[in-house]
Amino acid sequence: MSQLNCVVLYAESINQSVALYTQLIGLPPVDQSPNFAMFRTNEGLMLGIWQKDQVHPELDKVGCGMEIVFAVESSAQLEQELGKYESLNLSILHPIVEMDFGYSFTALDSDGHRLRVMCQK
């Protein structure tokens, strides 16, 4: 049986994306080259950032086919994260709202990837 161990996002600017995700994850990449960076999350899932024009096979479409979800423990932490995302000048698609699964807000990174931060009810 195979295990999911890595999600890869394609980026227009590897340096800009590495800087952003270093702040969002709170850890630097564990490996980085001019066209690729790899982050290890606290749960062991890897997040790769790949320079879009270096992806093989070439891409025909990028962005917004998925969401990256960051979980927090409380509504207070959710509000702190919203403030952090706003301070990073990320586009906020919607402020904190109650949804079926809990409370969340959604933002976009500069490459159009949806970033959802949520806490369970």
Omega prior to 57 cis, within 30 of 0: yes
Question: pLDDT tens-digit profile of 84-98?
Answer: 999 999 999 999 999
Do residues 3 and 36 both lie within one domain?
yes
Average the pLDDT over each of 65-74, 90-99, 104-113 and give the range with the smallest value. 65-74
Give pLDDT, residue 5. 87
pLDDT surpasses 60 at 2: no
| Percentage of residues in the chain having pLDDT higher than 90 | 69
CATH no. for residue 109? 3.10.180.10
Do residues 40 and 92 both lie within one domain?
no
Give pLDDT, residue 102. 92
Do residues 108 and 55 both lie within one domain?
no
Do residues 67 and 121 both lie within one domain?
yes
What's the whole-model pTM score?
0.84
CATH no. for residue 20? 3.30.720.120
> What secondary structure, in 3-state letters, does 20-59 show?
HHHHHHCCCCCEEECCEEEEECCCCCEEEEEEHHHCCCCC
Q: What is the span of the domain harbouring residue 14? A: 1-59
Do residues 39 and 7 both lie within one domain?
yes
Question: pLDDT tens-digit profile of 9-50?
Answer: 999 999 999 999 999 999 999 999 999 999 998 778 899 999
Structure tokens at 14: 């590897």
Distance (Å, whole) CA 116 – CA 5? 20
